[in-house]
């Protein structure tokens, strides 16, 4: 078994029959992450051969090649000299320094994985008049009459143009007969015979990484040819002997071509992990499929590697992908199997022509999916941060499972990994029980006791009120109180505030006891209807001949009206008929008109309108007055100006000086100017106003001040 990071840049694992002292470095990764997908460990979608990746990740380099596999000398120093090679995960002896990419990246289909650079074979090849073997391996028991792909990735780190990496890739017989070969050209120079890998062509490489260049060719083995030698050589160079090429080689593959196999979870496209419980009756289910076409290597054409008479076999690996065993009886494209022993392993699908299903070298294999068959959870725990104040946060800590369900007092239920109760009540005290389930569904149970402490509060019930009416709130059980919001409250820091909200409001009170623990209660004050406001519109004075029209201008959704005119008459309509308001014995009389309105919620509001009946509305100014404070004729002013608007009254002395002015009919001249009593005599007055029919009136006359 070997693992490698190669075609499409994916991490592959395949079983190979290689009869040589070389034991290729093996590595399986179970978790790969990419920029835009859920990655999964996958295997080469073809078959047996060479899959050399030189290691994977940041700390798993492959071993040096054994003697006879290369003519270059291994060095542990990453800064190698001519004739040496090293296995590293980044180039640190180049200009620019620290090139953090290799000769072949890890990909899921055409998406490069984040940080998956892996290891590579870095070579320093000096110019030489004779070829030099970079890599050679013998592959036995290959499937004859099949098409193979021999390929590799090259990254030119050199900065000099005097020599480029120029290699020959060849497949030969044991006797040295070349069955087919390929010239890379000057990698990174010209001509450069690189190609994108199948799956990328004809698309340009993603811009998020520096895409490696691949080189290779297809080869169909002649009948009877079951053993071949794969060889990579550095070609002779006529350059000066001081010239050298510094480059990396990675993902050396010799692999059978065939249909691409894919397996997937039935309900999770792109998922790479599934599970079950060893005692359960639900089998592990996976769906398999075969692709009919793929892009050809280095060309924008398709190849159609369909099987004529396919056969399938599901396999399981319990050692991370190094060895694979057939799952008994599972020979369909879909898997449905109950694994009764708890374990974690990989599952894949293998396929070939039916006559060759027992020849591993003739098979292709799918991506792999990790299966976790769980036993009963053992290292689990269920705890809390009890005791907790009512104004705190009761938190539960669960460990040892993949999912959890917690139940407790007051019908508490939570199936999240981090259950909690914010602001718990005293009634949350008690036993809590947890079902702790593994990823595969095996379940264990645990419990913990919780104590909640704090004041035993009581609050007044919620209620509905009419708009503009107050509501009494109350809370008890503590030593301090704080109500929020404070809007509409007469005091937010007492136990019994009075609320007068203008909208439906939910009031929250925090009650704190003498230990500092707090608890919360809520009271909702709902307004039974929208704003209800009784308003009477009409004149405030009624002259002897006036017929007064009073109108309802109330706000709200009103259903009934009640008028009381303070004269023994009532009405129950919105706008009553015009009516007179008469004086009594020719004396001013105030009529207190009352309007009561009722809205759709039954709320009631009352408006009071005072209409003063006056005996005379003829506006005039007296021709004399005596400001001696005897209560009789002490002031000079326009009399009967009840309905005058825009009134302006002015008084001038005999010299024409303005000594008094008012725009208020109730503000009168007392015979003084700037606090000094004026001399007896004649004074000129001027009066301007707008009358009840909107006419502008101007009057002028004289008045005598008598002392």
- For residue 45, being part of any structural domain is answered with yes
Domain match, 209 and 89 both: yes
Q: According to the model, what pLDDT value does residue 369 have? A: 87
Domain match, 417 and 508 both: no
Q: For the segment 579-608, what is each residue's pLDDT rounded down to a tens digit? A: 999 998 889 999 999 999 998 888 899 999
Rg (CA), the chain: 50
Q: For the segment 51-93, what is each residue's pLDDT rounded down to a tens digit? A: 787 865 556 667 899 899 999 999 998 889 999 999 987 766 6
Domain match, 116 and 45 both: yes
Domain match, 662 and 513 both: no
- Mapped to the 3 state alphabet, what secondary structure does 60-128 carry? EECCCCCCCCCCCEECCCCCCCCCEEEEECCECCCCCCCECCCCCCCEECCEEECCCCCCEEEEEEECC
Q: Provide the 8-state DSSP code for 212.
A: P
- Burial class of residue 6 in the structure, from the number of CB atoms within 10 Å of its CB (0-12 exposed, 13-18 middle, 19+ buried): buried
- For residue 618, being part of any structural domain is answered with no
CB atoms within 10 A of CB 375: 14
Q: According to the model, what pLDDT value does residue 177 have? A: 96
- For residue 641, being part of any structural domain is answered with yes
Contact 522, 506 (CB under 8 A): yes
Q: According to the model, what pLDDT value does residue 38 have? A: 26
Q: For the segment 235-258, what is each residue's pLDDT rounded down to a tens digit? A: 999 999 889 999 999 888 887 777
Domain match, 509 and 542 both: no
Residue 271 pLDDT more than 90?
Answer: no
Domain match, 245 and 229 both: yes
For 539-579, give the DSSP string: -SEE-TT--B--EE--BS-EEEEEEE-SSS-EE-SSSPPPB
- For residue 392, being part of any structural domain is answered with yes
Domain endpoint, select from 256, 275, 295: 256
Q: Provide the 8-state DSSP code for 33.
A: B
Residue 50 pLDDT more than 50?
Answer: yes
Q: For the segment 364-373, what is each residue's pLDDT rounded down to a tens digit? A: 888 788 898 9
Ranges 88-92, 118-122, 650-654, most confident: 650-654
Domain match, 555 and 588 both: yes
Domain match, 411 and 390 both: yes
Contact 488, 505 (CB under 8 A): yes
Contact 451, 409 (CB under 8 A): no
Q: According to the model, what pLDDT value does residue 59 have? A: 61
Average pLDDT over residues 478-506: 94
Distance of CA 362 to the CA centre of its chain: 48
Q: Provide the 8-state DSSP code for 355.
A: G
Average pLDDT over residues 678-707: 94
- Check the CA dihedral 408-410-416-421 and report its sign: negative
Residue 102 pLDDT more than 90?
Answer: no
Q: According to the model, what pLDDT value does residue 195 have? A: 81
- For residue 673, being part of any structural domain is answered with yes
**Distant-in-sequence, close-in-space partners of 538: CB < 8 Å, separation ≥ 6:** 548, 549, 550, 551, 609, 611
Q: According to the model, what pLDDT value does residue 341 have? A: 86
Q: Which SS3 state, helix, strand or coil, does residue 182 take?
A: strand
Token pair for 621: 């100014």
**Distant-in-sequence, close-in-space partners of 327: CB < 8 Å, separation ≥ 6:** 313, 314, 315, 316, 335, 337, 347
**What CATH number is associated with residue 32?**
2.60.120
Domain match, 49 and 137 both: yes
Q: According to the model, what pLDDT value does residue 458 have? A: 94
562 or 218: which leads in pLDDT: 562
Average pLDDT over residues 649-672: 95
Domain match, 85 and 207 both: yes
Q: According to the model, what pLDDT value does residue 294 have? A: 61
- For residue 619, being part of any structural domain is answered with no
- For residue 655, being part of any structural domain is answered with yes
Q: Which of 655, 530, 538 is nearest to 599 (CA)?
A: 530
Q: For the segment 603-633, what is each residue's pLDDT rounded down to a tens digit? A: 899 999 999 999 999 999 999 999 999 989 9
According to DSSP, the β-strands at 518-527 and 463-465 are parallel
According to DSSP, the β-strands at 696-705 and 624-625 are parallel
Per the structure, the count of domains in the chain is: 6
Domain match, 161 and 195 both: yes
Domain match, 631 and 511 both: no
Mean pLDDT of the chain: 83
- For residue 236, being part of any structural domain is answered with yes
Average pLDDT over residues 468-475: 91
Distance of CA 535 to the CA centre of its chain: 52
**What CATH number is associated with residue 433?**
2.60.40.10
Q: Per mean pLDDT, which range of 90-104, 115-129, 521-535 is the poorest?
A: 90-104
Domain that holds residue 676: 624-705
Q: According to the model, what pLDDT value does residue 8 have? A: 29
């Amino acid at each position: 078994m070997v693992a490698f990071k190669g075609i499409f840049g994916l991490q592959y694992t395949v079983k190979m029959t290689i009869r040589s002292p070389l034991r290729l470095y093996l590595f399986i990764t179970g978790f790969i992450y990419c920029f835009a997908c859920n990655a999964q460990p996958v295997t080469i979608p073809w078959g047996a051969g060479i899959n050399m990746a030189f290691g994977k990740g940041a700390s798993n380099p492959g071993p040096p090649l054994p003697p006879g596999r290369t003519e270059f000398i291994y060095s542990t120093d990453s800064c190698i000299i001519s004739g040496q090679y090293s296995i590293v995960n980044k180039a640190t002896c180049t200009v620019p320094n620290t090139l953090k990419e290799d000769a072949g990246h890890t990909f899921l289909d055409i998406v490069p994985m984040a940080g998956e650079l892996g290891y590579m074979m870095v070579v320093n090849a000096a110019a030489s008049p004779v070829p030099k073997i970079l890599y050679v391996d013998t592959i036995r028991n290959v499937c004859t009459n099949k098409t193979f792909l021999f390929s590799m990735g090259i990254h030119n780190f050199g900065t000099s143009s005097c020599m480029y990496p120029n290699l020959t890739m060849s497949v030969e017989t044991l006797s040295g007969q070349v069955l087919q070969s390929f010239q890379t050209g000057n990698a990174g120079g010209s001509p450069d015979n690189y190609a994108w890998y199948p799956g990328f062509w004809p698309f340009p490489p993603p811009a998020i990484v520096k895409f490696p260049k691949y080189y290779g060719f297809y080869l169909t083995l002649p009948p009877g040819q079951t053993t071949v030698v794969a060889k990579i050589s550095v070609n002779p160079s006529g350059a000066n002997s001081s010239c050298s090429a510094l480059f990396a080689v990675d993902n050396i593959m010799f692999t059978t071509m065939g249909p691409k196999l894919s397996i997937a979870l039935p309900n999770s496209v792109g998922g790479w992990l599934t599970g079950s419980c060893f005692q359960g009756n639900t089998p592990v289910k996976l769906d398999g499929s075969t692709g009919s076409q793929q892009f050809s290597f280095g060309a924008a054409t398709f190849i159609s590697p369909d099987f004529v008479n396919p056969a399938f076999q599901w396999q399981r690996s319990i050692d991370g992908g190094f060895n694979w065993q057939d799952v008994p009886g599972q020979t369909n494209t879909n898997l449905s199997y109950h694994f009764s022993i708890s374990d974690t392993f990989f599952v894949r699908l293998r396929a070939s022509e039916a006559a060759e299903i027992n020849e591993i070298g003739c098979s292709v294999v799918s991506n792999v999916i990790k299966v976790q068959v769980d036993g009963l959870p053992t290292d689990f725990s269920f705890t809390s941060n009890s005791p907790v104040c009512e104004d705190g946060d009761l938190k539960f800590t669960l460990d040892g499972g993949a999912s959890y369900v917690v139940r407790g007092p007051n019908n508490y239920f939570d199936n999240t990994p981090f259950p909690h109760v914010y602001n718990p009540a005293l009634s949350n005290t008690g036993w809590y029980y947890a079902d702790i389930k593994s990823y595969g569904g095996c379940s264990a149970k645990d419990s913990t006791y919780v104590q909640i402490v704090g004041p035993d509060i009581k609050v007044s019930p919620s209620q509905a009120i009419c708009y503009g009416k107050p509501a009494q709130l109350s809370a008890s059980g503590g030593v301090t109180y704080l109500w929020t919001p404070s809007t509409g409250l007469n005091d937010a820091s007492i136990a019994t505030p009075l609320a007068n909200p203008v909208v439906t409001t939910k009031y929250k009170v925090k009650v704190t006891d003498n230990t500092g623990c707090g608890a919360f209660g809520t009271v909702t004050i709902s307004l039974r209807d929208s704003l209800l406001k009784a308003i009477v519109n009409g004149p405030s004075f009624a002259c002897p001949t006036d017929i007064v029209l009073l109108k309802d201008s109330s706000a709200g959704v009103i259903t009934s009206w009640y008028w009381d005119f303070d004269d023994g008459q009532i009405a129950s309509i919105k706008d009553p008929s015009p009516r007179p308001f008469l004086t009594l014995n020719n004396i001013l009389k105030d009529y207190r008109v009352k309007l009561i309105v009722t809205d759709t919620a039954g709320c009631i509001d009352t408006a009071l309108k005072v209409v003063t009946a006056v005996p005379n509305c003829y506006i005039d100014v007296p021709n004399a007055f005596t400001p001696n404070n005897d209560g009789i004729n002490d002031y000079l002013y326009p009399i009967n100006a009840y309905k005058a608007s825009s009134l302006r009254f002015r008084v001038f002395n005999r010299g024409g000086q303005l000594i008094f002015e008012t725009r208020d009919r109730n503000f009168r001249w007392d015979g003084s100017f700037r606090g000094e009593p004026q001399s007896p005599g004649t004074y000129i007055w001027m009066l301007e106003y707008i009358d009840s029919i909107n006419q502008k009136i101007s009057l002028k006359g004289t008045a005598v001040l008598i002392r």
